[in-house]
Amino acid sequence: MKSIYKISIYFLVLLILTDCVSEIPNASNFEPQVFISGFLTDGAEHVTIKIQRTVSVENENLDPINDAQILLYTKDASGNSELVTSSFNVSNGTYSSADTVVSIIGNTYWVEIILADGTTFKSDEEILKEAITIKDIEITNELNRVIFADPLADTNFYLINFLFYNNNGSLTLKVNELTNDVLFNGNDSATFDSTEFLVNNPQEVRVNISNLNFNTYQYYLNQFAQFENQITNAGSENDPGQLFLPPPANLTGNIMNISNNTRALGFFGVQATTLFSKRF
């Protein structure tokens, strides 16, 4: 799986033309949309959410939204809801909660975002699942393996990051993978192998496992698939086969525009993350 560092490429629209194709102006068809992205993880943190409008391909500048109101809510296992915070500081479209938010495993969280014109967005209510226990890392010439305990209670979805460091302590490679636990549900010593990118004799390897909700997992899947289709298979810009590649998809996630009852771009992820480090 290709590195998530490259995901920003997804949001560039490439117009690839051949000698027999005429350029069709698209500026008149462009309609800006609101893009929202943010996370809430386990532990104590300042919750950060980015809000901006999409821009046309001719515009190289971002269009941040700095006048939105954000409300973060939670619901406990008994169904009691409360406002966690509505106090956020904003800079260039990035909102950070004024106070530290202490999240609770098993609680459900969501955000509501109100723009200056009254347009209102709401993320799906997602449960903060338990953090995963990582037991070991194995690195060979054939695979990168992480061993961990998978909960039995329900179906789990994971984002797994392998980070490789050299003798100087510098990050040399980051590999990102997605998986569910269909093949190892409830296994106390579940294994996941990454074989596409291998590093010989790393000095240190760190693994992050994020326990995702389904909608966030699906959002990452769409990102990875779009990168594979639009970048990995891009080939030469003079290749007529470019015309038959799947078009870039709007990466809708778990955000609903409740003003017009449509899915919006982006997502607000609720996930617990575990870090494990091993020197070799």
CB-count burial class (<10 Å; 0-12, 13-18, 19+) for 200:
exposed
What local confidence, expressed as pLDDT, does residue 129 receive?
94
CA distance 29 to 186: 50
Measured distance between the N- and C-terminal CA atoms of the chain, rounded to whole angstroms: 24
Among 25-39, 171-185, 255-269, name the one with the lowest average pLDDT.
Answer: 25-39
Are 15 and 23 in contact by the 8 Å Cβ rule? The answer is yes
Pick the range with the lowest mean pLDDT from 16-30, 55-69, 87-101, 193-207: 16-30
User: With contact defined as beta carbons under 8 Å apart, do 147 and 135 qualify?
Assistant: yes
For residue 186, pLDDT beyond 60: yes
- Give this prediction's pTM: 0.78
The answer to whether residue 55 scores a pLDDT higher than 50 is yes
Beta bridge partners of 176: 161
Vertex 166 angle, CA 159 and 1, to 5°: 30
Q: What's the mean pLDDT when you consider all of the chain?
A: 83
pLDDT tens sequence across 242-279: 444 444 456 678 999 999 999 888 889 999 999 999 99
CA distances to 19, 129, 130 from 270, in Å? 47, 8, 11
Least confident of 98-107, 187-196, 223-232: 223-232
Q: How confident is the model at residue 232 (pLDDT cuts 50, 70, 90)?
A: low
97 vs 48: CA distance, rounded Å: 7
What are residue 122's phi and psi, to 5 degrees?
Answer: -140, 130
Q: What is the distance between the alpha carbons of residues 254 and 38, in angstroms, rounded to a whole number?
A: 11
pLDDT at 130 over 70: yes
Instruction: DSSP for 192-235, please give it.
Output: EEE-SS--SS-SEEEEEEEEE-HHHHHHHHHHHHHHIIIIIT--
Task: Return the pLDDT at 19.
Answer: 42
Mean pLDDT within 48-64: 84
How many whole angstroms separate alpha carbon 33 and alpha carbon 250?
10
**Residue 160 C-alpha from the chain's centroid:** 12
Spatial separation of the C-alpha atoms in residues 117 and 68, rounded to whole Å:
9
Burial class for 54, CB neighbours closer than 10 Å (0-12, 13-18, 19+) = middle
Partners of 64 in the β-ladder: 52
